[in-house]
Amino acid sequence: METQQSTADSILDKLTPRERQVAVHMAKGLLNKQIGEILGVSNRTVETHVLHIKLKIGKNITKTRASIVLSEELNKEAARIIESAAPPALRSAADLLAEPGV
């Protein structure tokens, strides 16, 4: 599991703040034109960000596959944030049993 965690962190950590904004909208399945309208940039600018994102994920990846990968990674990141904010009483019994000294 730790290897997957490191991979997820490295993909998202490679993105600039603007690329992360584009990535969030890509993960929602929006078209470049829609992303541009939301962010107030041209379609060409969005295309450039999408290209950079794809290159950072994998050289021969399609936009559709990149969107799926980004969606999965953003969901994992959200789950980690929620899990880290949850009070100990809400954590699962398996998590508690896995802790040293329990």
Q: What is the CATH number of the domain that holds 74?
A: 1.10.10.10
| pLDDT band for position 2 (cuts 50, 70, 90) | very low
What is the count of structural domains for the chain? 1
Residue range 15-55, pLDDT digits in tens = 999 999 999 999 999 999 999 999 999 999 999 999 999 98
Distances (CA, A) of 22 to 1, 11, 68, 71, 101: 27, 14, 13, 12, 44
Sign of the CA dihedral running 57, 63, 69, 72: positive
Domain span at residue 81?
2-98
